[in-house]
Amino acid sequence: MESQELPYVLIDCIGGKHGVYEDHIEFLEKHFHLISMKEYLENKKSLSEKIRAIYIWYHKPVINEELLQSLPNLKIVASSGVGIDHLDLRLLSSYGVKVANTPFAVSTDTADFGMALMLASSRRLVEGYQMAVSPDTEYFPADWLGAEVSGATLGIVGMGTIGYKVAQRAKAFEMKILYHNRNQRNKEDESAVGAVYCKKIDDLLQQSDFVLLAVTLTPQTHKLIGKKELELMKPTATLINISRGLVVDQDALVEALQKKIIKAAALDVTYPEPLPRDHPLLKLKNIIITPHIGSATKKTRRLMMENMTESIKAGLTGLPIPNEVLL
């Protein structure tokens, strides 16, 4: 098949620190004629009308009005991951461009990682590792203790696909599960994981040993956890964030951790990423920070790529679009 017959899809670049993975290219090129941003900018005149889709890999390329204006035949934009807070949905809609993400591909890995953070924080795994390998360690003290996960109370804020998968895993640890969500889940879903609905987030915060944030970032969830919420939490509680950095008021979190208003935090996401190297969060002892690796496994990234390919193809042939994001 001649590559001219394949639809033209704009990408940012291949390889390097944020480019499309080189080992994904073979698959993508079976379906698309890929145009890098560099190629496009060098050849705008001949390429601008040919590009019908954009493949956004880790937030690049950035979609702005200028780009949308210069791509008259753009039909669909596929974005890796589930978060779409980096996209202006209204703007895209006004240009008649459809949007797709990859909510299901990321869900199990992100749920797994939420559990990993909760266990690592509670059992002081990172500190323990540092002690085990430190050149200064002469013995392991008997009074060095963490806290139990099994049988503790987990409060899940945001019980979507990811939140629910966390609940399924936590149940096997005999955790008591509370959840807060825009809508209550149906009875079968709740009883399958033994989850109790908390209409008011305050109730969840006051009763939980672990508070896990699994919401999408929207204007409503921006700084959802601030000073008031942190103070409602138990002083023995741990905050775990696998959603977006902006869901937490970071300054309030710094204060809460410094003053031991809560026991600890474990964050896969911050704002920005990475944090500036002099940020107070990096200096705290009672925190674990990971570099946004909730979905960072080979299989999942490949599945995301395949999902995005499917969405683009459907969008270009007028078929129903899997994983379409509606306004």
Partner 1 sequence: MLRSKAFSLLKPIPLMFGQSNLACIHPAIASYGHRCHRSPVDYRQRYKTYSAGEQTISASHTKVMAEDLPGVLILDIGGTHGVLENLAVLLKKHFHLITMKEFLENKKEMSKKIQSVFVFECRPTIDRELLESLPNLKVIGNSGVGVDHLDLKMISNFGVKVTNTPHAVADPTADMAMALMLASARRLVEGCQIAVSPDTKYFAVDWLGVEVTRATLGIIGMGSIGYKVAQRARAFNMKILYHNRNRRRKEEEEAVGAHYCEKMEDLLQQSDFVMLVVNLTPETHKLIGKKELGLMKPTATLINISRGAVIDQDALVEALQKKIIRAAALDVTHPEPLPRDHPLLRLNNIIITPHIGTATVQAIRMMAEEAIANMLAVLNGQPIPSEVFPK
Catalytic residues: 244, 273, 292
Compute the distance between CA of residue 213 and CA of residue 248 in angstroms, rounded to an integer. 9
In angstroms, give the least distance from the CB of 67 to partner 1.
21
- Determine which residue in the list 54, 289, 304, 312 makes contact with partner 1, applying CB under 8 A: 289
Cis-peptide into 272, omega within 30 deg: yes
The answer to the question of residue 292 lying near partner 1 (CB under 8 A) is: yes
The answer to the question of residue 75 lying near partner 1 (CB under 8 A) is: no
Q: Distance of CA 236 to CAs 155, 208, 233, Å?
A: 14, 9, 8
In angstroms, give the least distance from the CB of 252 to partner 1.
20
The answer to the question of residue 285 lying near partner 1 (CB under 8 A) is: no
Which residues in the 232-261 window bind partner 1 by CB under 8 A? none
The nearer residue to partner 1, 95 or 173, going by C-beta atoms, is: 173
| Piece of the chain touching partner 1 by CB under 8 A; list 121-129, 209-217, 225-233, 237-245 | 121-129
- Determine which residue in the list 129, 199, 251, 317 makes contact with partner 1, applying CB under 8 A: 129
The answer to the question of residue 325 lying near partner 1 (CB under 8 A) is: no
What token pair was written down for 44? 């705008």
| Piece of the chain touching partner 1 by CB under 8 A; list 71-79, 242-250, 285-293, 318-326 | 285-293
Which residues in the 38-57 window bind partner 1 by CB under 8 A? 57
The answer to the question of residue 25 lying near partner 1 (CB under 8 A) is: no
**DSSP at 7:** P
Q: 324, 99 in Cβ contact below 8 A?
A: yes
Burial class (CB in 10 A: 0-12, 13-18, 19+), 64: exposed
The answer to the question of residue 6 lying near partner 1 (CB under 8 A) is: no
The answer to the question of residue 138 lying near partner 1 (CB under 8 A) is: yes
Compute the distance between CA of residue 212 and CA of residue 41 in angstroms, rounded to an integer. 43
Which three-class secondary structure state does DSSP give residue 47? helix
The answer to the question of residue 150 lying near partner 1 (CB under 8 A) is: yes
Q: Of 74, 60, 59, which is closest to residue 7 (Cα–Cα)?
A: 74
Q: Of 132, 153, 126, which is closest to residue 212 (Cα–Cα)?
A: 153
- Determine which residue in the list 14, 125, 201, 246 makes contact with partner 1, applying CB under 8 A: 125
